[in-house]
Amino acid sequence: MRDYELRRGHWKNIDGEKLLHLMQDVFGETKKVGAGFQVEDWGALTKLYCEQLGKTHLRVDTTMNPKVANEDAQKTLRAYNDFLELATGYNAKERSKRAQAEAKKGAEDVPDV
């Protein structure tokens, strides 16, 4: 499970049912599960669950099938990255930089023993 930061003000683009419609546009059949939405058996994805955490974060949980063809794996990765860019407002490079900065910040907060 991974939390992604949303671009400031971008939460309006995925609030409520808008996240469902975005997932349907990218992955097709999507159903509501609990507080989020879920896609099953799409490309290399066995399961993709996504929910909005307030105005600042998006929680995404994926389960992958490692036994798919390389073509399907590449198609799935492209679609997943496209989805994350549309959902968070950040492209892959920006998401990576933000994750590294957050990890570094977290490491600085750990007290020395």
Is 2-108 a CATH 3.30.310.190 domain? yes
Q: What pLDDT is recorded for position 20?
A: 95
Tokens of 34: 């609990």
Please state at what angle helix 92-108 crosses helix 70-88, rounded to 10 degrees. Answer: 70
Q: Give which of 87, 83, 79, 97 is closest to 11, Cα–Cα.
A: 87
CB within 8 A of 14, min separation 6: which ones?
A: 6, 22, 52, 58, 87
Q: Give which of 83, 73, 79, 48 is closest to 63, Cα–Cα.
A: 48
The number of angstroms, rounded, from the C-alpha of 113 to the middle of its chain's C-alpha atoms is: 35
Asked whether residue 110 carries a pLDDT value surpassing 70, the answer given is no
Mean pLDDT, the chain, whole residue set: 91
Q: What pLDDT is recorded for position 16?
A: 84
pLDDT digits (tens, 9 = 90+) for 24-78: 999 999 999 999 999 999 999 999 999 999 999 999 999 999 999 999 999 999 9
Q: What pLDDT is recorded for position 101?
A: 87
How is the chain split into domains, by residue range? 2-108
